[in-house]
C-alpha cells in the first residue's frame, strides 16, 4: 500500500475536524463542538507557531493524521516536539499509516539540530496505541500528566451526559 504523507493546509480543515471528533469520541467518549474544533484547527493551520498537521493519504483520500506542537526545554537547550491528534481511520489500522506519519515527522525533527526529543501522551488504558508507539522506537518517559482547567469545559460533553 502506497501511503503519501503531506503537510495539511486550510483546504483540509473539514477532514481534520472529522478525524479529531472521531478521535475524541473513541478515546475519551467526548463529543466535541464542531465550531470550537473547526476554529482550533483553522487557527493552527494559519499559524505554524501553534503546530503543524500532517495527513496520510491513500489514493487521494485522507486516512490518518498527526499534529505536533513545540515545547522549549531549558534543561536540554532544545525543542521537544509533542505529537498530538493522532488518528488513523479504523479500516486502515495495522497497515503502516501511523508509522508513515511518525517517520515523516521524525525525519523533519532529525533535520533540525535543535530538536532534542519527540514525545506524546497517551490515554492510560490505550494499550494498543502504546504498543504501536513502542514499535516505532518510543519508550515511556517516566512522567505522568497533571492538569487544571483554566476555563469551563462547556464545549465538551461526554457520551454519558
Residues 1 and 18: their CA atoms lie apart, in Å, by 23
Task: List, in order of start, the domains of the chain with CATH numbers.
Answer: 4-138 (3.40.630.30)
> What average pLDDT does the segment 16-40 reach?
95
Looking at per-residue pLDDT, the higher value among 16 and 123 belongs to: 16
> What average pLDDT does the segment 151-155 reach?
63
**Crossing angle, helix 13-28 and helix 34-46, to 10 degrees?**
120
Residue-wise burial string across 44-81, b where 16 or more C-beta atoms lie within 10 A, e elsewhere: bbeeeeebbbbbbbbeeebbbbbbbeeeeeeeeeebbb
Give 77-103 pLDDT, tens digit per residue: 999 999 999 999 999 999 999 999 999
Tell me what pLDDT residue 161 has.
Answer: 46
Give 34-69 pLDDT, tens digit per residue: 999 999 999 999 999 999 999 999 999 999 999 999
> What average pLDDT does the segment 109-122 reach?
96
Name residue 70's beta-bridge partners: 81
Compute the 3-state secondary structure of the chain and give helix, strand, coil in percent, each to the nearest 5: 35, 30, 35
Please report how many Cα atoms fall inside a 13 Å half-sphere around the Cα of residue 129, on the Cβ side: 19
Tell me what pLDDT residue 81 has.
Answer: 97
> What average pLDDT does the segment 20-43 reach?
95
Residues 104 and 73: their CA atoms lie apart, in Å, by 23
Q: How far is CA 6 from the centre of its chain?
A: 14
pTM of this structure: 0.89
Amino acid at each position: 500500500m502506497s501511503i503519501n504523507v503531506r503537510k495539511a493546509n486550510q483546504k483540509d480543515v473539514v477532514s481534520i475536524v472529522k478525524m479529531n471528533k472521531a478521535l475524541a469520541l473513541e478515546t475519551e467518549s467526548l463529543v466535541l463542538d464542531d465550531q470550537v474544533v473547526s476554529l482550533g484547527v483553522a487557527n493552527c493551520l494559519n499559524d505554524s507557531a501553534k503546530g503543524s498537521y500532517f495527513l496520510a493519504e491513500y489514493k487521494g483520500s485522507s486516512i490518518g493524521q498527526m499534529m505536533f506542537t513545540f515545547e522549549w526545554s531549558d534543561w536540554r537547550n532544545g525543542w521537544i516536539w509533542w505529537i498530538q491528534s493522532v488518528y488513523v481511520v479504523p479500516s486502515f489500522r495495522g497497515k503502516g499509516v501511523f508509522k508513515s506519519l511518525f517517520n515523516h515527522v521524525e525525519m523533519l525533527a532529525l533535520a533540525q539540530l535543535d530538536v532534542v526529543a519527540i514525545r506524546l501522551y497517551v490515554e492510560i488504558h490505550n494499550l494498543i496505541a502504546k504498543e504501536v508507539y513502542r514499535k516505532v522506537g518510543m519508550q515511556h518517559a517516566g512522567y505522568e500528566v497533571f492538569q487544571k482547567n483554566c476555563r469551563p469545559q462547556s464545549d465538551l460533553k461526554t457520551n454519558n451526559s
